[in-house]
A and B are shown apart, each in its own frame.
Chain A
Amino acid sequence: MHGASDEEAPSPFDAARDWAPRMGVFERAAQVICQILLAVMVLLIAAEVATRALTGASLEITDEIGGYLLAALTFISMPVCLVENAFHRVEFIQARLSERGRAFSELLFDLLSFACAGILLWQLWRMEAITWRSDDLAPTNLMTPLWIPRASMVVGTAILCITLLRILTRDLRRIAAGGSAPP
């Protein structure tokens, strides 16, 4: 993955990096939430092991809460990865395009990604509304109202859409500048 240049040379992606979006309020909040979720996940599961080793009894909530934390982490980390350029991509065709060609292809990819994220948000919102109306509860000791953990998916995808909108704006400005570095 990543660039495929054979010699040490200026990267063809330098100009693209100059246009990379900065982390906004939503993405920064998402990043902090993800760090907290990860820390809670470690402590919860470690507490389960310790409790079982010391008392022979289980906390009985670890599997359930662990699953909720993972779902939340999956969706809330999406916008963070997007602005941090953490998603893998194959760049050997991109590296051979002109600045303008790269700018147009980025616009196309980001439009497709936005459409995709929009459809996911629509469907996740639909499910959240149905869960809310039907008062669905988890079939566990906690009897968690399922709209609470499922809301994390809607929130994460909504922030992803906002991030993609910001990136699309950047793409248009980049094309207007002819694909070169920002002034």
Chain B
Amino acid sequence: MTPELQIITAFGVFLFLLAAGMTVPFAITVPAIVYLLLQGGLVGLKGLGLVSWGSMDSFTLTAVPLFILMAEILQGSGLSQRIYTGLSKLFAGIPGGLLQTNIAGCAVFASISGSSVATAASIGGVALPQLLSRNYDRPLSAGSLAAGGTLGILFPPSLAMIVYGTFTETSVAKLFMAGLLPGIILTLMFMSYIGVHAWLRPGVAPRERGARSIAEFVRAVAEVLPFAVLVGCTLGSIYAGLATPTEAAAIGCIMATIISVIWGELNLRVLADCLRRSVATIGNILFIIYAAFVFSYAISYAGVGEQVTGFLVGLDLSRWEFFAALFVLYTVLGCLVESLGMIVITVPLLYPVLVKYGIDPIWFGVILVMYIELGQISPPIGINLFVIQSIWKGKLSEVVMGTIPFHLIMFLLLALLMAFPQLAMWLPTHMNS
């Protein structure tokens, strides 16, 4: 079998197993091992032990379990309900009412969770019953939550960026900062769209009243304040260069515990539950990362990475043609492969090409995360669609229809990021190392 046919077979087996319903980490590991066996027989497997140790004995990656635990503590102690209640008083007065609160709530929760699924599930679980009981437009309600949830991996602390940074040996702190401004812009674009839509078609969202008095406004601010302090401390310490992302995550866990004891319903039993649920989420993500390292090793064992790089560089594409090709690749992949899978399968192959095209890896990290966000709300496997549908128990088609305008807004931001890279690069170039 020729090397080209071998790599096509490995990717084919991966996509087949994934689509057929095998669990994601095994669907990555099985073709990797098959590929190693094809390349070198049993001798090809001998590096697996050291690759396993070398890839997972990583201090950088310890940020992943810690940020997951932090979000789980806040979610488990009922504090996502408080975020939503507080924000609903602050944002419900503007056109779009609680739909605006959905986006603001997702943006705030994204800043502490790092995960789109956690964001969509936390805010969706609180918001959907209220939206439906007040006769908000069903597709727009579901769409705003599914799309708002994707902010979880653009705002720091983004788990996707930690994984990208680990694979490319890029500064995770700089990646976090690069995602912040695009995250704020995307939030404002989502909210503007909802505002204009609700103004043009008042039937989609009933008029809500915001805070009715200064005292109510102050109470609403007090509901959100603990999160503002938590986000400010974790992100602020990274931006100021006082802590690494991993250290900020550990401090975040301690602070989240204290906040949840004071303002939430955290006790030892709830904390044990949070730890138990975190282990399930963490194990899944870490196994996918580990499987991807094995896949990456299998590809490099055969020297295919160099061949792919040589082929792509040999095409002599212009920068914009290269972006257009990436756009097609990730749009298709986003419909087939789940978020972390997209990063870990493509980045080891594409990363060397970035250098040849003079593309900044930090900026590319933000672009890649945007593509992944799109994939998370693209049928047939966009995970946020199913998260919202499972909470709602409604039609999947309504969720899909509701996300279409948000897709277009995300494409617009992608174009803006490509035309004005400084939108992503301004903060990282001004932060303390």
What A residues does B208 contact at CB under 8 A?
none
Smallest CB separation, A41 vs chain B (Å): 6
Most B CB within 10 A of own CB, among A44, A115, A123, A150: A123
Q: Which of B22-30, B132-140, B174-182 contacts A (4 or more CB under 8 A)?
A: B22-30
Q: Mark A5-32, 1 if CB is under 8 A from B, else 0.
A: 1111000000000000000000000010
Q: Mark B37-60, 1 if CB is under 8 A from A, else 0.
A: 000000001101110110011110
Smallest CB separation, B53 vs chain A (Å): 6
Chain A interface residues (CB < 8 Å from chain B): 1-8, 31, 34-35, 38-39, 41-42, 44-46, 48-49, 62-63, 66-71, 73-75, 77-78, 80-81, 84, 86-94, 105, 109, 112-113, 115-116, 119-120, 122-124, 126-128, 149-150, 153
Pair B65/A41 contact, Cβ less than 8 Å: yes
In the bound complex, what is the Cα–Cα distance between A172 and B61 (angstroms)? 38
What A residues does B62 contact at CB under 8 A?
41, 45, 66-67, 69-70
What are 20 of the A-B contact pairs (CB < 8 Å)? A2-B383, A38-B65, A38-B69, A42-B66, A45-B62, A45-B246, A46-B254, A48-B250, A49-B251, A66-B246, A71-B57, A88-B24, A88-B338, A109-B23, A109-B26, A113-B26, A116-B33, A119-B48, A123-B45, A127-B50
Smallest CB separation, B86 vs chain A (Å): 27
What B residues does A38 contact at CB under 8 A?
65, 69, 275, 278-279, 282
How many A-B pairs with Cβ below 8 Å?
191
In the bound complex, what is the Cα–Cα distance between A122 and B45 (angstroms)? 10
What A residues does B23 contact at CB under 8 A?
87-89, 109, 113
In the bound complex, what is the Cα–Cα distance between A139 and B46 (angstroms)? 23
Query: Is B356 on the interface with A (CB-CB < 8 A)?
Result: no
B20's partner among A4, A77, A105 (CB-CB below 8 A) is: A105
Pair B21/A80 contact, Cβ less than 8 Å: no
Beta-carbon nearest neighbor of B20 in chain A: A93
Helix, strand, loop or mixed for chain A's interface? helix
Pair A81/B284 contact, Cβ less than 8 Å: yes
Q: Lowest 6 CB-CB distances: which A-B pairs, in order?
A: A127-B49, A77-B283, A45-B250, A87-B23, A81-B283, A94-B21
In the bound complex, what is the Cα–Cα distance between A48 and B46 (angstroms)? 37
Smallest CB separation, B293 vs chain A (Å): 10
Pair B49/A126 contact, Cβ less than 8 Å: yes
Beta-carbon nearest neighbor of A71 in chain B: B56
Query: Is B381 on the interface with A (CB-CB < 8 A)?
Result: yes
Pair B247/A45 contact, Cβ less than 8 Å: yes
User: Known contacts being A69-B62, A87-B287, is A119 close to B21, with CB within 8 Å?
Assistant: no
In the bound complex, what is the Cα–Cα distance between A36 and B358 (angstroms)? 45
What A residues does B26 contact at CB under 8 A?
87, 109, 112-113, 116
User: Known contacts being A73-B286, A112-B26, A112-B30, is A153 close to B52, with CB within 8 Å?
Assistant: yes
What A residues does B249 contact at CB under 8 A?
45
Pair A109/B69 contact, Cβ less than 8 Å: no
Q: Of residues 1 to 35 in B, which have CB atoms within 8 Å of A's CB atoms? A: 17-26, 29-30, 33
Query: Is B395 on the interface with A (CB-CB < 8 A)?
Result: yes
B279's partner among A31, A89, A116 (CB-CB below 8 A) is: A31
What B residues does A4 contact at CB under 8 A?
380, 386, 396
Beta-carbon nearest neighbor of B247 in chain A: A49
Pair A6/B21 contact, Cβ less than 8 Å: no
